[in-house]
Homo-oligomer: A and B are copies of this chain.
Amino acid sequence: MMISTKGRYALRVMIDLAQHQGEGYVPLKEIARRQEISEKYLESILKILVHHHMLIGLRGKGGGYMLTRSPEQYSIYSILLLTEGCLAPVACLEKESKSCTRIAECPTLPMWQKLDSLITDFFNKITLADLAAPSLPGNDYAI
């Protein structure tokens, strides 16, 4: 498997926030309740998103979280990359992977690279708006 709960939960939260745009700041407690995810665990995920300016977090009474842009302006790729760290299908393609000595002769590397592009393109073409929107003709991704 490739996408952990961190990435999947992050997506669900972002969709939740997209669907509650215009309601001001939405507190974590509310999101956690709606999404049935532990508040404390969500916290650690939202921290990443705030830190990278995908969200604004406002403290204190009346505070909560809010999107910084409109849903069309978030690619699913950007959200998953932040929370998962890396979306490569094999260790060989990871940035930190101490370069394998067999790279030059590896008969499988080109295949992994093609798959990686395929996946990257797939997620880059989908936006938060596609997932948050109700089902409409032309929207392949909505339920």
Contact = CB atoms under 8 A, between A and B. Distances in A.
Interface of A: 1-3, 5, 8, 11-12, 15, 36, 76, 86, 88-92, 94, 102, 105-112, 114-115, 118-119, 122, 126, 131-132, 140-143
B107 A118 contact: no
- One complex includes copies of this chain to the number of 2
22 contacts: A1-B2, A1-B86, A1-B89, A1-B94, A2-B2, A3-B89, A5-B91, A12-B107, A12-B108, A76-B111, A107-B131, A107-B142, A107-B143, A108-B131, A109-B143, A110-B141, A110-B142, A110-B143, A111-B131, A114-B122, A114-B140, A118-B122
Given A1-B86, A114-B140, A119-B119, 10 more contacts: A1-B2, A3-B90, A3-B112, A11-B108, A109-B143, A110-B140, A110-B142, A110-B143, A111-B126, A111-B141
Contacts of A89: 1-3
